[in-house]
Amino acid sequence: MRPRIFYCTLILATYLLVSGCINLGPDYSRPDVKVDIPVSYQYTPTAAKPLEIEDRWWTVFKDPEIDRLVEQALQNNWDIKQAAARVLEARAQFVQVRADRFPSVDVQGSGDRRRFGGPRSASGTTVNTYELAAPAIFEIDLWSRLAKTSQAAWDDILQAETNRHTVAQTIVAETVTLYLQWEASERRLQIAYQSIEAFRRSLQFVDTRYSRGLTSALDVRQARRILAGAEALVPQFQQQLGIIQQQLSILLGQYPETREARSQPEAYYRRLEPVPPGLPSSLLMRRPDIQAAEYRLKALNERVGAAKAARFPTITLTGSYGWTSDELSSLIEPDSVVWNLTGGIVQPVFDAAKLKARQRTAEALYLQGVAGYAKTLLAAFLEVESALLTRKMQLERRKRELKFLEEARATQRVAQNRYIHGLSDYLDVLDAQQTRFQAEDSLVLVDLAIYSNRVGLHRSLGGGWARPETITTKDDGIFFDFAANPQKQE
C-alpha cells in the first residue's frame, strides 16, 4: 500500500467516525436571572423618539482636545496593550487545544548493528537493521469531548476580546473624565485668584478707612482673615490640578508631567444633547463586560460536557508506514515497506470516582458562572439607573445653584451699598463676597458632576464606543473571525 493510500484511508475513516459524534450536552441557553427587567429605564424621558447610538460618543462635548486625547489613549495606553496580549494568549491556547482533534504524525528513524555468537567465534554473525517510519495516532472524538474542549477555548478567545473592549471603554471614560476634571480645576483655581484679588482690594479699602479713623481694627482683621483663607486654597487647587495632569499622562502612556494652568472662559458651560427618551433595557446587552460574562458561561458549559464525555470509553487509532532493511542502500524500496493500522479502546473501570468528581467540579464552576453573570447583569442595570437618576438630580441642582449664585451676587451689591451709607459693618460685605465666590465654585463642581455623569451614562449603557484596532497575527497564518464558530475555522 502506498503512503498516500494509507493516510487517505486513515483520514477517511476518522472523518466518518468524527462526523457521527455523540453530543452528551448540556446545550447552552442563556440563564434566567429571575428578575423582572422593564422594557425601558425608570428615569428616561417617555416621549417617543428613535434611538441613535453615536460611535464616537465623546464628540457630544464638542471639544477637539478631548477627541485628540481619546485617540492617543486608544493607541498608547498600556492597559489596552496588556489586554490585547491576553487575546493573543487565548488564541495560542485555542490552537493548542484544537490540535488534539487532528492526527498526530511523527517521523522516526533508527539504525541497529548486532553480532550473534562469541567475540572470538569465527562463526559469529553481524546483523544490520535500518528503519524509517511515520507513525500516526488519532483519538476518535465519539463523545465530543475534544470538540467541546475546543469550543470552550474558542469562547475563551471571545471573552478575552470583549474584555479588551471593556478595558478600552474604561480607559476612554477615564481619559474624558480626567480632562473634564482638569478644566474644572483650572476654573476653580481661576475663581480662587479672582476672589483673592477682590479680597485684596477690600483690604486696601478697609486699611484706607482705618487710617482715616472711619472704621475699627476689627474690620481690618476680618478682611485679612478672609484674604488669608482664600490664599490658603490655592496650593490645594494647584495640587489637585497637578495630580490630575499626571494621571492623564499615565493613561496616555507618557511620563507623568504637570503644566501651568490655562485661562478658562467665563461662559464655558455647554448644554449637552438630551438623553434619548425611552432607552430600551435591551441596549444593555451591548456592554462588553456582560458579553464577556456570557462567553465565560458558555465556556464553562462546554467544559461540563467535556468532563462528562471523559467518563466514556476513549477510542484511538494508531498506524505506521515506513521501510525496514538490512542494507541502508536498499532501505527505501518497495520490498522494504512495512505498515500497520491498529484500533484501541480504553474504558475507565475504577478511578476512585475521580472522573465523576471532575464532572461535579465543572458543574459547580458553571453554577458559579451563572451567579457571576447575574451579578454582572444586575450591576449593569444599577449603573444605568443610578446614572439616569443622578443626571436628573444634578440638572435640578444646577438650576438651584444658578439661583443661589444670583442671590449671592445681589446680596453682595446690597451689602456694599449699605456699608457705603454706613448702615452695616464691613463684615457683612466680606461675608457676602465670600459667599458669592463659594457659589461660583459650587457651580463649577455641579457642572463637572453633570459632564462626568454623562460620561458614566455612556459607559454604563455600553453602546456607542469606538473599538480598538483589530489584533492580527502573522506567525501561525490562522484567520480568526470572532463572530464565527470554531468548527468553521477548521
pLDDT tens string 88-139: 999 999 999 998 888 888 888 888 878 776 656 556 677 788 888 888 888 8
Confidence of residue 164 (pLDDT cuts 50, 70, 90): very high
Place of cell 497637578: 242
The reported pLDDT for the residue numbered 45 is: 62
Question: CATH for 3-101+108-114+126-466?
Answer: 1.20.1600.10
**Average per-residue pLDDT for the chain:** 84
Cα 388 to Cα 159: distance, rounded to the nearest angstrom: 28
Residue 224 clears pLDDT 90, i.e. is over it: yes
Return the pLDDT at 484: 43
Q: What is the pLDDT of residues 66-101, one digit of tens each?
A: 999 999 999 999 999 999 999 999 999 999 999 888
Least confident of 146-160, 424-438, 457-471: 457-471
Are 116 and 124 a contacting pair, CB within 8 Å?
yes
> Range with the lowest mean pLDDT among 45-49, 139-143, 219-223, 423-427?
45-49
Of 162-176, 203-217, 293-307, the one with minimum mean pLDDT is 203-217
Greater confidence (37 vs 267) lies with: 267
pLDDT at 412: 93
**Four-point Cα dihedral 302, 305, 306, 312, nearest 10:** -170
Q: How is the chain split into domains, by residue range?
A: 3-101+108-114+126-466
CA distances (Å), origin 47, targets 93, 116, 194, 275, 277: 50, 100, 44, 11, 6
Instruction: Identify the band that residue 333 occupies on the pLDDT scale cut at 50, 70 and 90.
Output: confident
- What pTM was estimated for this model as a whole? 0.82
Which pLDDT does position 49 carry in this prediction? 44
Nearest-angstrom CA–CA distance, 186 and 241 = 7
Percentage, residues of the chain above pLDDT 70: 84
Where is pLDDT greater, at 281 or 26? 26
Q: Is the pLDDT of residue 52 over 70?
A: no
Give me the pLDDT at residue 179, please. Answer: 97
Instruction: Look at residue 228 in the predicted model and tell me its pLDDT.
Output: 95
Cα 303 to chain centroid distance, Å, stands at: 24
DSSP-assigned beta bridge partners for residue 108 = 133
pLDDT value at residue 67: 93
Residue 175 grid cell: 481619559
CA atoms of 224 and 355, how far apart (whole Å): 81
pLDDT at 240: 96
Pairing outcome for strands 125-140 and 337-346? unpaired
CA 384 to chain centre: 18
Does the pLDDT of residue 475 top 70, yes or no?
no
Task: Give the residue from 370, 377, 374 showing the smallest Cα distance to 304.
Answer: 370
Query: What is the per-residue pLDDT for 123?
Result: 62
